[in-house]
Structures are given as C-alpha cells and as structure tokens.
Structure 1
Amino acid sequence: MDNGYHYVYPICQIYNGEICAVQKSGNMFVAKVFNLSRKNTRQAAYYELRLMLLCNHQNVVRAVNFFQDDDFACIVMPKYRECDIYEYLMENENKLLNFITDVSAGLQYLHQLHIIHRDLNPSNIFVDQNGHFVIGDLGSAQLCHRNNNNEYVAQVMVGSAPFRAPEMLNTTYSFCVDLWNFGLMIHELVHGQFPFEFETEAEFLYLLKHFEYQPESRNNLIDDLIWTLLNKNPCKRYEYTKVVAKLQ
C-alpha cells in the first residue's frame, strides 16, 4: 500500500480487484483496491469515487481517501463491523426497526441525488461503530439523467440475480429497483426465506416476469411494508415512506 496506509489482511476478492483492511496512524480502514490492468477498471474506480464524493450521510458509505499508481487505484473507506447482517439482526432483534429506518434514510438520500444503487443486498449493508446501518458498495450504482420524457432512468441489468427487480427486464427502469431489493431483504429477515424460489437463471427470469407477491397476512406494519415494497407496479412502491413513518 502507499500514502501512509499499510496492508493488514484481505476481506474478499472482487471482479476487478480486492477489498482489504488497512491501517494508518494506528487507525483501521477498509480499502477497495482496483487492478488497473483489467479493462475499464480505471473508469470504474473514478466513477465510484465520484459517486461517493457526492454523498455526505451517516447511512451511506463515504470515501476517506483515494490514491493510485500505474498498477492500482485505491478508495479508502471507514472500517465497519465485520458481521453477517442477517446474523447480526437475529442476535439483536431490537435493531430491526433501526435497520429499516436507517436503510430507508440512506436510500431516500441517494435517490435525492439521482443515484440508483442497483445492487442493494445484505452483503452491501454494514454496521458502524455507533450501531447505525450503512449502505455500502456503490460499484454498481448509477447517476441518472433525465430522458426525453423528463424521467430519471437507467438501462443496463446489473446486480445480484435474486435481487433484480421485475422492471429490469424492460428497456429502462428507475429508483424503484432499490425499493424492490429493500423489500426482499426485509422479507428474508422477518420470514427467514425469500418470497420465491428458483434454481436456474431461466427460472429466475420467468419468476421475475410473472411473480405477484401475495403475503400470508398483513397483520402488522412490517408485513404491510414488505407488501408495499414488493408491488409489481414500481410507482406504488414509493408509498413505503408512509409505512416507515408509522414505524418510527
């Protein structure tokens, strides 16, 4: 490493580099290291850094530093707790409402900046040292611009297969794909499983096209929230903010 940061240990490999723990002046951080020898990686690193520098919110990851040489580019971020988010919430059931309100606040902030995360899933939610939930990894995120119909849209299908929203099968989609992902996470946390099952990519794409969420019950606000977020009509998912307000 460089710029005063020292490599401590690896956390995980990514398609264009590595995530690792680093240290500087006795303080721990996380570094996303991009291997610049891989095609389009330099542009990806700069774009992700650009999005992170736009953000200043306690529930969205931020960049602490950035440096590069001829071979690597490195985005330095705060060091969050290393834990499986589902296991953490199972052990701290009283934190579920905090999870919902924190992720909701982070999403609303990103969407106000016209950023779609596009890969919201449990591996990209972190817990900071104060117990706040933080949306991380903007590597698949996109800053949207208005189209000819004055709508903010994206076009490329990205993200982890189980968390892709139905409208990603269309030509364009917008911020509501993140709300679908949010609903899937809450459903799995509350009910211990996904609302649908599949084994192959073809089965998943078929389900995505034909799936209609039918909850077993809507006896409480969290079930109502899941039902709202998993609405096949993207525009109706925005009503989730009313349910979150009631939960608070």
Structure 2
Amino acid sequence: MSIQSTYEALNNFDIRNAAVNRGHFATVYFARHRITGIKVALKQVELSRMTDSKTIEDCKREVFLLQQLDHPNIIKYISHFIDNNDLYIVLELASAGDLSKMFESLHQNNKLLNEKTIWKFFCQITCGLEYMHSKRIIHRDIKPANIFINKDGSIKLGDLGLSRYFDSKTILAYSNVGTPYYMAPEIIDGQCRGYNFQSDIWSLACILYEMVVLRSPFYEIDLDLPSLQRKILTLDYEPLSTQLYSTNLHSIINQCLVLNPEQRLPINDINNIAKTMYTQFRTQITNNAPVPI
C-alpha cells in the first residue's frame, strides 16, 4: 500500500470534533494523518443530503479543478474519497486561519496593517489568481474568508466550490454566485449580461481596499441587498486617504473598481505592480531608508 492511498480512508485520520468552517452541505475539520503525522484540512461534503443533481456535479467539479492546480499560493489538493455516502476532500492546512479572522482581530485590537505587509500579502494573492486565470479557471468567490494564511506569512487562495473552468469556446458565465460585498457590478445588477475573469479583478480590488481599512469598500451597517446593489452600481464608497498610502495602491483600486469590466486592469499588470511594490518596501527597510506613506 502506498502512502498516497492511505489518504483515501477516513480511519487513517484523527479529526478534531470542533469544525473549522461550516457551510450548507460542507464542513471543514482540522485532522492529522495517523501514518505521516501531517496536519490537513478535511472537507466533508454531505452528498447524502443533496437532492439536486447540479449541486452534486458542482462538488465533482471542485475536485476536478483542485486537481488541475499546483501553485504555492493556492491551497494544495492532496486526495479525496467517499465514506458512508459522503465526499471527503483532503487539503493542505493553512495553520494561521484566514484574512477575515485576521481583520477581525486587528479591528478588535484597534490596529491596522502597514503598507509593507499589505503588499506582502497582496502580491501572493495576485500570484495565485494569475496562475488560476492562466489555467482558465475563474475563482468567483474571492473574499477574506477564502484567503488563508500560514504561520510563515505565506498566503493561499482556497475554497474553489464556486470556481468555474472556461474552455476555449467559453466567453461569459451567467450564474449569479459569490458573496455580495465582493461581487462585481455585472454579476450583482441582475441583468444576466454575463461575466468573465475580470469579475475576479473587481473582488481583488475590494480585498486590497479592505486590507487598508479592515472593511469592504461597500460595507455599511444593516445594509440590505438592494441598497448594496445601488452602492456598487454607483461606485459609492469612501476614497482612501492619499496622504497615507502609496500612489500605486490607490491606482490599483481606482483602476479595478470600474463598472466596465474591460476597463479594469488585467491580472498580470496588477501582479507586476504588487511584486514591484513589495520589493521596494523590503529594500527600503533593509537599507534603513524612509518608507513613503
């Protein structure tokens, strides 16, 4: 029996009782592989509760997409198996939680991220997303809770449950999926005009904005969906202070939170800017030079 095959049996894992994350049909647990001692994230998908064939197909699609991806900034797929009519997906464990938990902790402690850290995290997110797009996979649910952190500071894009593969003949998708605060206007306006990879770019800009102020650009207390739609479709958000952060940070947000998808920056340009800025901030600190704010 190979080591890999031992990842395909539930009795080879010690599972913590408390769930890390729980969705409608899926629950994610911390687990330890008994043979190697490696800690993993074990996603249990309750196929036995599903009556909709499309939902079951979506689960199969998630496994297929995970198998296509191998990148240091994307949660790594390890294995999957069926046990007692439920699907289990074995995934790399990001040991320090996700961005949403980090933002919540910073907010509670009245702290903000410095710009060097923002670029450190953001350039890893853009690297992962550029790789996904190069494989013709659109994420469709980029949000802080789906961006994971390791203790060494490495960042991983995860939760591909809503992701979609675009074959060479596919130009637009039409399913209304995602998380409203991070949804692009072409998805949330309800007009079914279709969308493409550029909808991920909108979500990416929302993440960059949130790294600065610890909330979505369109967040408002007790905001209902129609009001949120109006805020997004009118670009009603508070601009960041131009005195406190670099021009490039403002530029990415301003050139990505654009109603016309085709006018948003392409992912390779964003990734190049992010890498350059992180390198610049690291060099300045190493040389004891002042960091521009």
Q: CA deviation at 1:88?
A: 7.1
Q: Which has the higher contact order (CA 8 A, sep 6+)?
A: 2
Distance 1:231 1:55 in 2: 29
Q: What is the TM-score with the length of structure 1 in the denominator? A: 0.88
Aligned to 2:72: 58
Q: What is the TM-score with the length of structure 2 in the denominator? A: 0.76
Q: How does 1:49-128 map to 2 (within 5 A)?
A: 49-83=63-97, 84-86=101-103, 93=114, 94-128=116-150
CA offset digits 1:75-103 (Å, max 9, x no partner) = 00111124323257757644221111100
Contact map agreement 2:201 2:256 (CA 8 A) in 1: yes
Indicate the larger mover: 66-75 or 102-111: 66-75
Distance 1:161 1:102 in 2: 24
CA gap of 1:206–1:66, structure 2 versus 1, over 3 A, is: same
Q: Which has the larger radius of gyration?
A: 2
CA offset digits 1:54-83 (Å, max 9, x no partner) = 001001112111110342110001111243
Contact map agreement 1:98 1:133 (CA 8 A) in 2: no
Q: Say which of 215, 221, 226 aligns to 2:253.
A: 226
Q: Say which of 199, 202, 205 aligns to 2:229.
A: 205
Q: CA deviation at 1:197?
A: 4.0
The two structures, once aligned, show a CA RMSD in angstroms of 2.4
- Percent identity at matched positions? 23
Q: CA deviation at 1:132?
A: 1.1
Distance 2:174 2:198 in 1: 13
Aligned to 1:33: 44
Distance 1:191 1:92 in 2: 9
Paired residue total: 245
Q: 1:153 aligns to what SS in structure 2?
A: coil
Aligned to 1:184: 206
Aligned to 1:17: 26
Distance 2:171 2:102 in 1: 31
Residue segments in structure 1 that go unaligned for 5+ positions in a row: none
Contact map agreement 2:218 2:232 (CA 8 A) in 1: no
Residue segments in structure 2 that go unaligned for 5+ positions in a row: 1-8, 280-293
